[in-house]
């Protein structure tokens, strides 16, 4: 298999995972895993009680998954999903360690895709970056000196 094929497979797996779990947050078609530790249950109930947090998280997952599955704005989708992946890992590491396999697979897929799209992330990862020159008010494209 070529690198391009592996990238597509990873994109579909990651996008499909987030689409599945994101939609489940709205439609509740997957059963709750049995034997969840009480702190994990309490955390989930606290998020649900806010009334906005679960819809925000799950809506973000569905939108980012749609971007991954459609191969549109993939670096943006990966950037948006990064804090979600960190929270999933932290949740399982601290509250439900028996379920670490899926979060580790999701992390591996995300890191692989970030590496494959590394050129898109390169400007963001530079230590120093100058702001763009402002265009003059007349719209002539003449650059104005940057102010400090």
Per-residue pLDDT of the chain (148 residues), as tens digits, is 899 999 999 999 999 999 999 999 999 999 988 889 999 999 999 999 999 999 999 999 999 999 999 999 999 999 999 999 999 999 999 999 998 999 999 999 999 999 999 999 999 999 998 888 876 655 655 555 565 5
pTM value is 0.85
pLDDT at 138: 59
pLDDT at 141: 58
Burial (CB count within 10 angstroms: exposed 0-12, middle 13-18, buried 19+), residue 88? buried
Q: Which of 58, 57, 48 is nearest to 27 (CA)?
A: 58
| Ramachandran angles phi, psi of 143, nearest 5° | -80, 135
CA gap 94, 72 in Å, rounded: 34
CA gap 130, 112 in Å, rounded: 29
CA gap 115, 112 in Å, rounded: 5
| Ramachandran angles phi, psi of 33, nearest 5° | -60, 135
Q: Tokens 């249950």 map to which residue?
A: 41
pLDDT at 133: 84
Q: Tokens at residue 141, please? A: 């494209």
CA gap 104, 128 in Å, rounded: 32
């Amino acid at each position: 298999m070529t690198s391009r094929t592996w990238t597509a497979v990873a994109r579909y797996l990651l996008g499909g995972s987030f689409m599945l779990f994101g939609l489940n947050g709205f439609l509740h078609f997957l059963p709750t895993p049995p034997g969840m530790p009480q702190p994990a249950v309490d955390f989930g109930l606290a998020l649900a009680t806010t009334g906005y947090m679960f819809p925000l998280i799950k809506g973000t997952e569905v939108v980012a998954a749609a971007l991954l599955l459609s191969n549109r704005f993939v670096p943006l989708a990966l950037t948006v999903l990064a804090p979600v992946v960190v929270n999933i890992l932290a949740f399982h590491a601290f509250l439900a360690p028996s379920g670490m396999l899926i979060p580790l697979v999701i992390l591996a897929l995300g890191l692989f895709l970030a590496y494959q799209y590394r050129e898109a992330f390169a400007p963001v990862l530079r230590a120093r970056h100058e702001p763009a020159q402002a265009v003059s008010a007349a719209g002539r494209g003449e650059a104005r000196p940057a102010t400090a």
